[in-house]
Structure 1
């Protein structure tokens, strides 16, 4: 989420259920310009994947234009059966300071029926100001943690008895992985709700590499996984998704899978690893800190009181 100051100006906000190919490319170009200016993406990977491929249940796109030029974008996802709809928004750097961020925020409040959660990636002061203007309060902090992969000893992975690890086979392991992912992240609205379409979107990305997607099995049954990701331009490795099936936790499997993935990333010649973890998940934060991770930055989520 990015913000700006208010000033009267002619603009139009259009809400769509799907984007045309040209509209999607225009939004991606806007996001790329903003990312170069801000040093990070204003819309998450999931949000960027949802720009293409037609309509998706519960997803709306808001396009803010001035004199026919796209200068702002917001995405609203209303798929959580309990929580308020979640949004991300951005204004092109060259058009900030004219109230476009507030206009998009007000449009999001209207579309969502004033039940809204908004991500502010990086937690910048301008986004905090916009949240206050919109009457939103902070309620979630997602930390990005990093640690070096060079000059920093990685322990040998110690798997629980009877557990073996292999790599993901696209097409053959999809259903089993989706089932375990849903179980492991039943408490996590974004990750736990991934569908086959979401998995297919990720498998179609240039970064996808099944050799960095590790599956842990016991007696032929999937009990955990560590999906790694390489950010080529940044030369950065990511603990993309790490999950253990309920009932298989507490035996050191999560730590062993983490080490296996980090060793894989180190073998790829990457110097740094990163991951995301909720700040209120004290147990996970403590585990990662003991493995050498430190907080690098934080994404903040704001919401309406109602």
Structure 2
């Protein structure tokens, strides 16, 4: 039964650590029930980031227990992008609809934007919720998996190109320049800021040995960044990830992307990992063919649902 009276607090700026911890605990409870994390890496990193241009929407019951959370990225001109999670013990009570209807505390230009909401795992319940809210699927993100993971052979680099490890405190600016050029049209990766990069360097999983830069005559041409997920995140054993592969547009056509992918897989295999994953847009058929040739196959799907923020899913005009 829907409960339109569900109170939702809308906040901007970083959440206090105790409140951010409440969100993390809520996400963990949902993941334990659903088998997939409801919030991706970036929203979690933005919980306490004082530079993040996001709105935090927090739903609580009468005793103050956090029952739902949504985060809206309001930094883009054309869209408001969000992710949300509802406590499994409080589902089917209108919490999700209340979060959607709460809107974002931004200037009036939000009325001209489109709301896009990610749902991880493409769960039937999320599809039903989105359909009820009048939000069709507008984008799909594939997770692809390679198992068993074995050393992929020799890394064949273009003439004059060498590989070295990323050096924290030295390579950030050059890497961000190439990354922004390589992903100029990517809705998320191409927008990584200095703060976003530093936040990842502070994460427990960050390892410069798995962050390889391709250079020629001292100029950065591309990179492969790997990540290791602990047991439990993607199965019972640790799993490697080809986190980012980026090649400067001026260096495309040299086979550097394939070489960097092999280098990343070799690094993960050398760490004793038995499986690797990566993410790519379902529309990126060229990349999908390349990854399938390397042995990757589709293993999961995240979906983005779209709606017009000028009207909330309940029919009420959304306001700051």
Q: Shorter-chain TM-score: which interval?
A: over 0.9
Is the 2:151–2:266 contact (alpha carbons within 8 Å) kept by the matching residues of 1? no
Kindly indicate whether residue 55 of structure 2 is the aligned counterpart of residue 52 of structure 1. no
Q: How does 1:203-282 map to 2 (within 5 A)?
A: 203-234=201-232, 235-282=238-285
SS in 2 for 1:182: helix
Is the 1:143–1:299 contact (alpha carbons within 8 Å) kept by the matching residues of 2? yes
What's the counterpart of residue 291 of structure 2? 288
SS in 2 for 1:238: strand
Is the 1:122–1:299 contact (alpha carbons within 8 Å) kept by the matching residues of 2? yes
CA 1:167–1:110 in structure 2 vs 1: closer, same or farther (change >3 Å)? closer
What's the counterpart of residue 127 of structure 1? 126
Q: Could you tell me which of 1, 11, 15 is aligned with 2:10?
A: 15
Q: Could you report, residue by residue, the CA deviation over 1:48-88 in whole angstroms, capped at 9, with x for unpaired residues?
A: 0001133x34200000001111110000001223x311000
Distance 2:104 2:207 in 1: 39
- Please report how far the alpha carbon of residue 189 of structure 1 lies from its aligned counterpart in structure 2 after TM superposition: 2.0
Distance 2:207 2:153 in 1: 24
RMSD of aligned alpha carbons: 1.7
SS in 1 for 2:141: strand
Kindly indicate whether residue 80 of structure 2 is the aligned counterpart of residue 85 of structure 1. yes
Kindly indicate whether residue 296 of structure 2 is the aligned counterpart of residue 297 of structure 1. no
Q: Could you report, residue by residue, the CA deviation over 1:219-257 in whole angstroms, capped at 9, with x for unpaired residues?
A: 110000000000022400000011000011111100000
Distance 1:104 1:110 in 2: 13
- Please report how far the alpha carbon of residue 108 of structure 1 lies from its aligned counterpart in structure 2 after TM superposition: 3.5
- Please report how far the alpha carbon of residue 23 of structure 1 lies from its aligned counterpart in structure 2 after TM superposition: 0.8
Kindly indicate whether residue 154 of structure 2 is the aligned counterpart of residue 156 of structure 1. yes
What's the counterpart of residue 168 of structure 1? 166
The TM-score, its normalising length taken from structure 2, stands at 0.89
Is the 2:130–2:136 contact (alpha carbons within 8 Å) kept by the matching residues of 1? yes
- Please report how far the alpha carbon of residue 7 of structure 1 lies from its aligned counterpart in structure 2 after TM superposition: 2.7
CA 1:217–1:256 in structure 2 vs 1: closer, same or farther (change >3 Å)? same
Matched residue count: 298
Alignment gaps of 5+ in structure 2: 233-237, 310-320
SS in 2 for 1:85: strand
Distance 1:73 1:46 in 2: 15
Kindly indicate whether residue 34 of structure 2 is the aligned counterpart of residue 35 of structure 1. no
Q: Could you report, residue by residue, the CA deviation over 1:97-127 in whole angstroms, capped at 9, with x for unpaired residues?
A: 2111111122238975372000011111111
Is the 1:74–1:104 contact (alpha carbons within 8 Å) kept by the matching residues of 2? yes
- Please report how far the alpha carbon of residue 155 of structure 1 lies from its aligned counterpart in structure 2 after TM superposition: 2.7
Is the 2:6–2:60 contact (alpha carbons within 8 Å) kept by the matching residues of 1? yes
CA 1:200–1:291 in structure 2 vs 1: closer, same or farther (change >3 Å)? same
Distance 1:78 1:277 in 2: 23
Is the 2:163–2:214 contact (alpha carbons within 8 Å) kept by the matching residues of 1? yes
Kindly indicate whether residue 140 of structure 2 is the aligned counterpart of residue 145 of structure 1. no
SS in 2 for 1:23: helix
Alignment gaps of 5+ in structure 1: 1-5
SS in 2 for 1:122: coil
SS in 2 for 1:304: strand
Distance 1:46 1:110 in 2: 20
Segments of 4+ moved more than 3 angstroms: 108-114
Distance 1:182 1:153 in 2: 30
The TM-score, its normalising length taken from structure 1, stands at 0.93
- Please report how far the alpha carbon of residue 148 of structure 1 lies from its aligned counterpart in structure 2 after TM superposition: 1.6
